[in-house]
Chain A
Amino acid sequence: MTKEFTFAPERFDLSVVADMVEAKSRVLDVGCGDGLLLQLLASRKEVDGRGVELSQRGVNDCVAKGLSVIQGDADTDLRDYPEDSFDYVILSQTLQATRRPRVVLEHMLRIGRRAIVSFPNFGHWRVRAQLLLGGRMPKSVNSDCGWYDTPNIHLCTIKDFVALPDELGAEIEQAVALDRAGAPIPFMSVGRAMNFFGAQAIFLLERARAPQHKSADDM
């Protein structure tokens, strides 16, 4: 490498994800956006990375940076990938925008032995406060869109999420809560405190056995 890759320092969440990945592994980043995570992984962990991104603009930017990215939709295109074709499948801040989150996660755990998922926590105290006291959907969750425009259609709390891996035949290998700035909150294990104080969560799941009930995979 002639140049050490430096990324935006405020993206702590990407750094946490990168730490979860073993060096020289094969990674599929679903919803890779501008390719920042793929670049970080290539630079720090020498991974063989590929990406799928919904926005054509994002894809073009990624390929122009030399990344191996194709245009695709997490909801419909993951079934094209063969089983066990990757070591890790990553879904960053995208789960809440998918139409069928459970199906997406099933595919991820089929394609890769390990899945890394990050999502905003609807159980965060600020969200509860805004709903309880303000009576309105929190802006942080709907980003800058109105409730009618937001792509975030499948919000969940950390507590909601932790029930799912077992049904998917996966185990939670690691769970990290992040604050609003995206910095990891130390000494926080999965439980009520994480559900209350974590603004975002990053989960590392590992395929353990066959899933309990496979959801209908019709598209």
Chain B
Amino acid sequence: MAFISPPPLAETKLPDANGAGVPHRAVCFGPDKPLVTDGGRVIAPLTISYETYGELNAARSNAILLCHALTGDQYAAGVHPVTKKPGWWDVLVGAGRPFDTDRFFVICTNVVGGCMGSTGPASINPATGRAYGLDFPVVTIRDMVRAQAMLIDHFGIDTLFCVAGGSMGGMQALQWAASFPERVFTTMSIAAAHRHSSQNIAFNEVGRQAVMADPDWRGGRYLDQGVRPEKGLAVARMAAHITYLSEQALTRKFGRKLQERAAPTFSFDADFQIESYLRYQGVSFVERFDANSYLFVTRACDYFDLAADYDGSLAKAFQGSKTRFCVVSFTSDWLYPTSASRAIVHALNAAGASVSFVEIESDKGHDAFLLYEPDFFATMRGFLASAAKARGLPEAIANPTRPSS
């Protein structure tokens, strides 16, 4: 199959999970540039969809790569074209914000295996003409990073000023630092871990089983049959969502309050506000996310174990690294608790790497990394400002250019 090299930054119409055409910016890599996965399979052709904010400077030294979390996508800022809501890190990305788009070129991609334009289980398999479904190769965090590196190469960027992400995005950031130490000037790992605990895997497994238990999942071939396992995916999302919150916040926001009624109805309606809230979370999630993608992306998180790739020593992963690290955790995050971040810091110290580690006092649980917390923002600003100075980046971009192909 011959591929015409697409114009850079042109909008490419790609179907989203629901088959309706939603334009996403993307680069298609032809069969001459395959992605060889850790599982020993090949993904070619490979499409990476992305979004950018700000301008690349002439020296191509001001690029920041943001990595999204489990159910995120490339729309880190601005308005999401499908949900019409602000991007997942809109609070942090923009003019004058910590990821200052007047100063930096901010890139965010959709991970391979995702469903917002990058090649994933909902994409058409060229061999069969139908969606990949479970034929899609099981990808790892390292595979996701490899794909991102292909895009960064395509932009002609040698070294990234910063790779940053929260949760699964933090895992990708750490993988970047381990896989491409010379290409990363700073790495920010926020509310993340270097591997999943048994509890983490357990919660993901519950989510996967919920999807697969839905009769409309059809062994993963639901797109061919014009159905979607909405109920199963909604339940998976409800369970996961609880892990993103803290008990204090749930008590504070919902408690035992009833949803628009004076007394319990003695039925299985959503009597409590928390029930109504979770049902809403589930229903709105299925409108933008593909069920099979959920299986693949949670799998990647469960398989991630940075130390295992280095004889069981996480310090070895960062040995000799000149990258500056910033590790952030949140006090009420029980999904990726402070102890997980401490283990990363411990390893970085042992490797002699430059690391700042901050634990932010917050009652918003794991989700705090998506929200405004003054100390969190001050940390980001301070770390990035100091790093930018060390890199010799000017306060504002002098002669910005668009990256050429």
Where the two chains meet, the residues of B that have a C-beta atom closer than 8 Å to any C-beta of A are 324, 326, 345-346, 349-350, 352, 354-361, 375, 378-379, 381-383, 385-387, 389
Contacts and interface: CB of A to CB of B under 8 A. Distances in A.
Q: Sort chain A's interface into a size bin.
A: 10 to 19
A66 B389 contact: yes
B382 A66 contact: yes
Given A60-B378, A64-B379, A81-B349, A70 B355 contact: yes
B112 to A, nearest CB: 33
A69 B328 CA distance: 12
Contacts of A50: 354-355
A63 B349 contact: no
Nearest to B359: A56
Interface string A138-158: 000000000000000000000
Given A56-B361, A64-B382, A80-B346, A69 B352 contact: no
A68 interface: yes
- Chain A contact residues: over half helix, strand or loop, or mixed? mixed
A80 B354 contact: no
A68 B355 contact: yes
A98 interface: no
A66 B383 contact: yes
B358 A71 contact: yes
A85 interface: yes
22 contacts: A50-B354, A56-B359, A60-B375, A63-B356, A63-B357, A63-B379, A63-B382, A63-B383, A64-B382, A65-B382, A66-B383, A66-B386, A68-B324, A68-B354, A69-B357, A70-B356, A71-B358, A71-B359, A80-B349, A82-B350, A82-B352, A85-B352
A178 interface: no
Contact of B350 (A60, A66, A80): A80
Nearest to A50: B354
A108 interface: no
A70 B378 contact: no
A59 interface: yes
B352 A64 contact: no
A66 B357 contact: no
Given A69-B356, A70-B349, A70-B356, A64 B361 contact: no
Contacts of B386: 65-67
Given A80-B349, A81-B349, A82-B352, A66 B385 contact: yes
Nearest to A48: B354
Given A66-B383, A67-B356, 10 more contacts: A56-B361, A59-B357, A60-B360, A63-B356, A67-B386, A68-B324, A68-B355, A69-B356, A70-B349, A81-B350
Given A63-B379, A80-B346, A80-B350, A68 B356 contact: yes
B36 to A, nearest CB: 35
A80 B347 CA distance: 8
Contact of B326 (A48, A63, A65, A80): A63
Interface string A35-67: 000000000000010100000100110111111
Interface in A1-52: 48, 50
Contacts of B350: 80-82
Contacts of B383: 63, 66
Contacts of A80: 346, 349-350
Contacts of B387: 66
B327 to A, nearest CB: 8
Interface in A107-149: none
A82 B375 CA distance: 30
A81 B349 CA distance: 6
Contact of B345 (A62, A70, A85): A70
Interface in A79-94: 80-82, 85
A71 B328 CA distance: 11
Interchain residue pairs A-B with the least CB separation, the first 9: A66-B386, A64-B382, A70-B357, A64-B378, A63-B356, A66-B382, A68-B354, A63-B379, A63-B358
Contacts of B357: 59, 63, 69-71
Nearest to B331: A56
A64 B375 CA distance: 8
Contacts of A68: 324, 354-356
Contacts of A64: 375, 378-379, 381-382
A107 B361 CA distance: 30
A60 B355 CA distance: 13
A156 to B, nearest CB: 29
A56 B350 CA distance: 21
Contacts of B346: 80
A50 B350 CA distance: 14
Contacts of B355: 50, 68, 70
A60 B389 CA distance: 19
